[in-house]
Structure 1
Amino acid sequence: MISKIKFCGIRTVREARNAEKLSVDAIGLVRTILSARYITRSRAMKICRNVPMLMKVGVFVNDTLSFVCDTIKCARINLLQFCGRESTKFCDSISYRFNIPYIRVIHIRELSHNIINRINRMEGKYIFLDSLSGYGGNGMTFDWNRMDMLDNKYIIVGGGLSYKNVGALIRNYKPHYVDVSSGIEEGKRKSFALMKKFVKAVRR
């Protein structure tokens, strides 16, 4: 199985179109103001209009119900990603209302047995394993050991990925998705050259 690719923190139409050129599977649009990669409502709409066939993931951190719903309506989001302390009830209610699945982010330093058991009980859910520091895009990895103990078939791995290490992750653990943000950036902007290197490393 070839892992799917999500480019997160897309901020411009050009970056989105470059992702589309490389046939990545999804892009992440960060709507939480807590992130340096935050984009406005109008920017999200513009990006989505220009890549209608590409899967768009709305990324949120402890945002209000009305804010999330407005983003879904205006930007035609295909998938939701909740990175904060949102309750399962909150996530499920939005998912049910708009018939859109969601990703639940778990910030970890290492995969303890308690975390493994928790994830294995979450059948049929997209689980995003990210490093403990901040809310993504920090370039830090977590300890991948024991990932082979996970039964969930919808594991997404992010945190510190780049073209230099993503191949080893895929060979050893075969996650459903790999997520990259800072690993394809130069000067805090997405680099098409690094995008290409990352895609090549995943699909070789």
Structure 2
Amino acid sequence: MADTRIKICGLQDVEVLKSMKSLPLDYIGLIFAPSRRRVSAETAARLTAELQDWESGAVPDAVGVFVNPELAELAAVLETVPLKVVQLHGEESPQRCSEVRQAFPRVQVWKALSVAGHGGNGAGSIQALLESYAGTVDALLLDTYDPQGSGGTGRTFDWEQIPLYQQAAADYALPLFIAGGLHPDNVNELVAGYAPYGVDVSSGVETGGSKDIMKMTAFVERVKQS
């Protein structure tokens, strides 16, 4: 599924971003929530400035990742950083997502949902969950449940649950991204088996905690070849 969208998240370094300009990416993710990959608004502004002369295809959209943000925090970041997407990665309710969407109509709002381990949720509960977010967000992202935080575990969830989420997402015309433990050696299987709308990777393309251009290149190539 060559049309699967690709998001590489957790960018922090301008020189690393410069090395990525030949990659056909759709989104780059900038983390503003507590994380070792967190960036300041000033650093994020320098990073997004580098997107304008992207060498491969269209300019990637900048996605800002937040956890339970106040509207004032979002406003302060958006004043400095030209984000195209605000990704909410905490416990934000549908009502809260709707408030963010109404407050900042120029950006898309995505909501990350945590998926538990094997066994997971039934079709009925998944349908009800996605129905609750329909009309309040522009896309959903599935990530591995982490009792200690808000994603970024580097672990996959039970992919057999993906079709249930995909069916429910299709019912409400919601694009569905898959995250959680993806890396160059498993993304081909994911894309070939489930044809997700998009994939999101961070730690899986790092070496020693830093983005690795060889791993990022391999990841993109394997998505495109699937």
Aligned twin of 1:59: 65
Q: Secondary structure at the match of 2:183?
A: coil
* Distance change (3 Å), C-alpha of 1:19 and 1:91: farther
- Which moved further from structure 2: 184-193 or 38-47? 38-47
| Counterpart residue number, 2:13 | 12
Q: Distance in 2 between matches of 1:103 and 1:79?
A: 7
2:104 aligned partner: 98
Residues 110-168 of structure 1: CA distance to partner in whole angstroms, max 9, x if unpaired?
44114421354244641110001132322111001132232214111000000111111
Q: Are 1:142 and 2:157 an aligned pair?
A: yes
Label 1:28 to 1:115 Cα distance change in 2 as closer, same or farther (>3 A): farther
Q: Which residue of 1 aligns with 2:56?
A: none
Where do 1:13-28 residues align within 5 Å? Answer: 13-28=14-29
Map Cα deviations across residues 60-92 of structure 1 (whole Å, 9 max, x no partner).
011221111111121010001001112323322
CA distance in 1, matches of 2:99, 2:79: 15
- Taking the aligned partners of 1:120 and 1:93, their CA distance within structure 2 comes to 17
Deviates more, 1:141-150 or 1:118-127: 118-127
C-alpha contact 2:7 2:200 (8 A) present in aligned 1 = yes
Please, which moves more after superposition, 117-126 or 91-100? 117-126
CA shift for structure 1 position 17: 2.8
Code of the residue aligned with 1:6 in structure 2: it is K
Identity across the alignment (%): 30
- Deviation of 1:107 (Å): 0.8
Aligned-partner Cα distance in 2 for 1:178–1:19: 17
Distance 1:58 1:108 in 2: 21
Number of the residue aligned with 1:37:
37
Listed as ranges, the matches of 1:115-154 within 5 Å are 115-121=125-131, 122-123=133-134, 125-133=138-146, 134-149=149-164, 150-151=166-167, 152-153=169-170, 154=175
Count of aligned residue pairs for this structure pair? 203
In the other structure, the counterpart of 2:47 is: 47
Write the distance in 1 (CA, Å) between the matches of 2:29 and 2:185.
21
Unaligned runs of 5+ in 1: none
User: Partners of 1:197 and 1:162 in 2: how far apart?
Assistant: 9
Aligned residue among 121, 146, 156 for 2:177: 156
The equivalent of 2:121 in structure 1 is: 112
**Which aligned pairs between 1:70-81 and structure 2 lie closer than 5 A?**
70-81=76-87
TM-score, length basis structure 1: 0.92
State the superposition RMSD in angstroms.
1.7
Give the secondary structure class of the aligned counterpart of 1:105: strand
Query: How far has the Cα of 1:179 moved from its partner?
Result: 0.3
